[in-house]
Amino acid sequence: MPVPFLDLKQQYAAVGQEIISGMTEVFENTAYILGPRVKAFEEDFAAFCGTAHCVAVSSGTDAVHAMLAVSDLPRGSGVIMPPNTFTATAEGVVLAGLVPVFVDVARGTWNLCPDAVEAFLEENSRSGRPVDPKSGAPVSAILPVDLYGRPAEMAVFERIAERFGLLLFEDACQAHGASRQGRMAGSFGHAAAFSFYPGKNLGAWGEGGAVTTNSDAVAAAIRSFRDHGSSEKYFYERIGHNYRMEAIQGVVLGVKLRYLPDWNRRRAEAAIRYSDLLAGLPLELPVEEEGVVNALHLYPVHTPARRELGVFLGGRGIGTGLHYPRPLHLQKAYAGLGYHEGDFPLSEYNSACNITLPMFPEITPEQQQEVADAIRSFFA
């Protein structure tokens, strides 16, 4: 039985007609950019995340860029972040005129390690201010990533950021509906970025993103920034971008948000089934953390034989993914930062050994049994 890595057709069958009805309203009103459906989604998503504001933008990449660009960080200063993330995290840093400063992750969670960050800041502080030893740039911010849907230890990072006088941001692009100790992803720090890429737990029918924040000033600045730096038509207070969300994506996301808690619950049930089905195999499975609700955007397992396993599963019609096959500090685009192989061993191990298994709300126990049987055959 073939098992897809992701199946969006079933989701379309469940909510497609409701969305199309809302789109028809947009088309009839000929209001294609922002508008009331986007505004309604912003209000609903802010309430969902427990924040004062949500500002919808055109992609998750744009969300990262926008929240950093409007936050008055010194140009050329450093932003601490993990190396094992999608390139958009670092792109947003660079586009905002800042410097990625990589620090390694924690084994098991694969998120930015608070102990490693604190040790880095202590070791590299001069006259009370931390400085990136690679670039010489003063460090101004910390940007953890909620990798695979698992929320980073943001409350710990809040304390670290306060201790060293840094701003704290959150890349929650994979963590819609995740929480840690009762606090929702997207509600920590200065601001947080979300992506609504179609394959995300909350996905648009195209591109989309958002910034959540409790700061009135940050929200107002991003609303201006996404609209060419304008709060009033044809009057510009800053250099901005065209980062506005299309009205039809506001429709899609507004409908899907109502289903998201149930979809995430079904992902959690599927993760429990995988843990039972894969027990005893030479695989490193996702860890459980007390008080953490993992959005389970992805279900990663780790094995040194991940390439061979991926080929084997593909031959049986089972889809898999690699998230991500090479950490950012070893990518050509960031070679100028001066990092080398061996600098971040846990990020490098994660990139070398992770393989992500099929995970979506509609996956059936029979499909998961097929995946598990195939993996057992591989290791037999």
Residue 143 lies in a domain: yes
Rounded Cα distance, 367 and 364, in Å:
5
Q: Is the residue at 212 inside a domain?
A: yes
Average pLDDT rounded to a whole number, residues 199-222: 97
Q: Are residues 145 and 293 in the same domain?
A: no
Residues 301, 170 share a domain: no
Question: Could you give the C-alpha distances from 211 to 4, 138, 327, in angstroms and in order?
Answer: 31, 25, 25
Q: Tell me which H or E stretch contains 320.
A: none
Give the domain-ending residue among 217, 235, 254: 254
- Assess whether 239 and 280 both reside in one domain: no
Q: Give the CATH number for residue 318.
A: 3.90.1150.10
User: Domain boundary at 237, 254, 271, which?
Assistant: 254
What's the predicted TM-score (pTM) here? 0.96
Q: What is the pLDDT of residues 113-157, one digit of tens each?
A: 999 999 999 999 977 789 999 999 999 999 999 999 999 999 999
Residue with tokens 């080398």: 340
Regarding whether 282 and 241 lie in a shared domain, the answer is: no
CB of 149 closer than 8 Å to CB of 294: yes
Rounded to an integer, the average pLDDT of 208-212 is 98
pLDDT band at 1 (very low <50, low <70, confident <90, very high): confident
Mean pLDDT over 70-83 rounds to 97
DSSP state string for 222-237:
HHHHTBTTEEETTEES
Which H or E run contains 54? strand 53-57
Residue 231: CB atoms within 10 Å: 13
Is residue 300 included in any domain, yes or no?
yes
- Residue 235 shares a structural domain with residue 143: yes
Q: Which of 222, 254, 286 is the last residue of a domain?
A: 254
Q: 1 lies in a domain? A: no
Same domain assignment for residues 222 and 158: yes
What pLDDT, in 10s, does the model give residues 146-195?
999 999 999 999 999 999 999 999 999 999 999 999 999 999 999 999 99
The tens digit of pLDDT for each residue in 243-287 reads 999 999 999 999 999 999 999 999 999 999 999 999 999 999 999
Instruction: Give the model confidence (pLDDT) of 291-339 as tens digits.
Output: 999 999 999 999 999 999 999 999 999 999 999 999 999 999 999 999 9
Measured in residues, the chain has a length of 380
Q: Is 227 within a domain?
A: yes
CA 110 to chain centre: 13
Transcribe 239-280 into DSSP letters: ---B-PPBHHHHHHHHHHHHHHHHHHHHHHHHHHHHHHHTTT
Residues 268 and 221 in one domain: no
Judge if 274 and 371 occupy the same domain. yes
Instruction: Tally the domains of the chain.
Output: 2
| Domain extent for 308 | 260-379
2 in a structural domain:
no
Mean pLDDT, range 33-43, rounded to an integer: 96
Helix axes 36-49, 9-29, angle to 10 degrees: 130
